[in-house]
């Protein structure tokens, strides 16, 4: 909102070189607003405005920017500026940046990191890609179980300013083993003479640093956490994953699933992030593989139609209903696949629920097929008489039933094979349903009309 309201004034100040006035205004804005304003400027003004930000605020603004904007700024900045920026950035934000930058740029930046920051960066990057370890921050509040409430509060006052969250303190023993947690609110309202062991909550949920990030999304959503403690194989507390980081990952995961569901393949360009700036050839590469596969699959449909040339020639009215029936099967299958893919993604169901969902879909798709058959068979009667009406009606029920069951089964099959269920894209389901639907329709027509 601020960007829309004040951008003309900021632009005028930039042209008149009123940098001190801009600095006084801009450092009071929310970081996301400033990042959007910088993104809207030309390359030269972007760097000028970014340099007007104080170093801590600049790190927050930089973290809110899209990756292509971050790369552009990094390439324009001097080494000492990058060094200051990296020093102020959160460790998890630094890791995200390193993951996306070209290797030669990452190598240059790594040389600018020193001491503790370098050790942390190397540690986080040592975890597998898309693991929780890549996402965690080491800045949290932890309290030793042997301490009293008074001692714990003093520790929080002296050291808590570096923590990324201020709602929860994690309880550990002398070996840094995670034992429980306590809310800061509960801590401050407790008797100062009590010991932490007497008031802490021992029912703590944690996650391994090597777990997939999707597991962290599920746990934070399931338990309404603002942060999730991250541990190693020996239950040593390593860091935390916060809800704001998880929201970013969840958005990426959801977008990736949507891309797969519509048949976008590969990872040559992050369409969710920079489609406006993506090169045309990369967009082409992203989209062409599945389209070519579907072309060859549709040729199977054409071959099936050629096989039933005689019945089509004899009853030319059958062609009128072919697009209607085939698209109905594809639509029903696409609906079923989308529901199952999404439910698997958010853990509403798992692979063990296949039989339940399959049987449930049998009844649902049968009702859908009968309803659609009633509508289409009346048209069949008007166009070709009673037998055509019967063929069209029976075909509609069969095609919707089979199409829906294909849509239900493919995501479960992919998941069982440890392949992302979203890879069973709606386009793939629709193409398979087309082939099966044409075969069913013309096969039933041949049998019933010849009788």
Note down the domain range covering 239. Answer: 142-248
Identify whether residues 46 and 177 lie together within a single domain: no
Domain assignment present for residue 118? The answer is yes
Domain assignment present for residue 327? The answer is yes
Look at residue 200 in the predicted model and tell me its pLDDT.
93
CATH of the domain at 162: 3.10.580.10
Look at residue 180 in the predicted model and tell me its pLDDT.
95
Look at residue 232 in the predicted model and tell me its pLDDT.
94
pTM check: above 0.75: no
Identify whether residues 104 and 243 lie together within a single domain: no
Identify whether residues 109 and 192 lie together within a single domain: no
Burial 160-173 (b: 16+ CB within 10 A, else e): beebbbeebbbbbe
CATH of the domain at 315: 1.10.357.20
Q: How many domains does the chain have?
A: 3
Identify whether residues 46 and 88 lie together within a single domain: yes
Look at residue 54 in the predicted model and tell me its pLDDT.
87
Look at residue 7 in the predicted model and tell me its pLDDT.
67
Instruction: Give per-10-residue mean pLDDT for the chain (451 aa).
Output: 62 75 80 84 84 87 85 86 86 83 79 82 87 90 92 84 84 94 90 91 94 89 90 94 84 71 55 64 79 82 86 88 89 90 83 92 95 91 88 93 93 85 73 89 88 63
Identify whether residues 234 and 296 lie together within a single domain: no
Residue 233 Cα distances to 207, 209, 214, angstroms? 10, 9, 19
Domain assignment present for residue 19? The answer is yes
Length of the chain: 451
Q: H or E stretch including 168?
A: strand 168-172
CATH of the domain at 113: 1.25.60.10
Identify whether residues 285 and 415 lie together within a single domain: yes
Identify whether residues 321 and 365 lie together within a single domain: yes
Question: Is-contact 108 75, C-beta < 8 A?
Answer: no
Identify whether residues 237 and 96 lie together within a single domain: no
Domain assignment present for residue 267? The answer is no
Which of 96, 126, 156 is at the close of a domain?
126
Chain position carrying tokens 């900021």 = 10
Identify whether residues 324 and 387 lie together within a single domain: yes
Q: From CA 64, how far away is CA 103, in angstroms rounded? A: 22
């Amino acid at each position: 909102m601020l960007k829309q309201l004040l951008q003309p004034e900021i632009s005028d100040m930039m042209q008149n070189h009123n940098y001190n006035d801009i600095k006084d205004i801009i450092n009071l804005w929310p970081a996301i607003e400033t990042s959007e304003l910088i993104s809207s400027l030309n390359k030269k003004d972007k760097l000028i405005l970014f340099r007007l930000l104080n170093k801590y605020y600049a790190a927050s603004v930089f973290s809110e920017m899209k990756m292509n904007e971050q790369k552009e700024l990094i390439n324009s900045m001097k080494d000492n500026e990058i060094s200051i920026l990296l020093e102020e950035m959160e460790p998890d934000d630094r890791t995200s940046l390193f993951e996306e930058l070209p290797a030669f740029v990452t190598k240059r930046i790594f040389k600018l990191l020193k001491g503790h920051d370098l050790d942390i960066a190397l540690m986080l990057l040592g975890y597998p890609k898309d693991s929780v370890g890549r996402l965690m921050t080491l800045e949290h509040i932890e309290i030793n179980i042997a301490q009293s409430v008074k001692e714990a509060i003093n520790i929080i006052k002296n050291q808590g300013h570096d923590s990324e969250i201020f709602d929860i303190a994690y309880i550990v023993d002398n070996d840094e083993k995670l034992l429980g947690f306590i809310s800061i609110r509960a801590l401050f309202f407790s008797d100062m003479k009590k010991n932490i062991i007497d008031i802490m909550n021992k029912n703590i949920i944690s996650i391994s640093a090597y777990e997939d990030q999707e597991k962290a999304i599920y746990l934070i959503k399931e338990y309404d956490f603002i942060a999730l403690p991250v541990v190693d194989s020996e239950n040593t507390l390593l860091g935390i994953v916060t809800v704001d980081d998880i929201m970013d990952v969840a958005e990426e995961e959801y977008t990736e699933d949507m891309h797969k569901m519509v048949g976008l393949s590969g990872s040559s360009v992050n369409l969710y992030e920079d489609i406006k700036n993506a090169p045309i050839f990369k967009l082409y590469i992203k989209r062409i593989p599945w389209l070519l596969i579907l072309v060859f699959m549709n040729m199977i449909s054409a071959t099936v139609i050629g096989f039933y040339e005689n019945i089509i020639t004899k009853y030319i009215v059958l062609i009128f209903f072919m697009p209607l029936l085939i698209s109905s099967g594809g639509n029903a299958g696409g609906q079923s696949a989308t529901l199952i893919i999404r439910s698997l993604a958010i853990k509403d169901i798992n692979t063990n629920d296949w039989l339940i969902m399959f049987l449930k879909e049998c009844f649902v798709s049968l009702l859908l097929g009968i309803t659609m058959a009633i509508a289409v068979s009346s048209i069949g009667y008007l166009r070709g008489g009673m037998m055509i009406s019967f063929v069209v009606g029976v075909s509609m029920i069969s095609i919707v039933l089979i199409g829906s069951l294909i849509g239900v089964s493919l995501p479960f099959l992919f998941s069982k094979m440890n392949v992302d269920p979203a890879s069973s894209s709606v386009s793939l389901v629709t193409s398979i349903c087309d082939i099966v639907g044409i075969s069913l329709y013309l096969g039933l027509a041949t049998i019933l009309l010849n009788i």
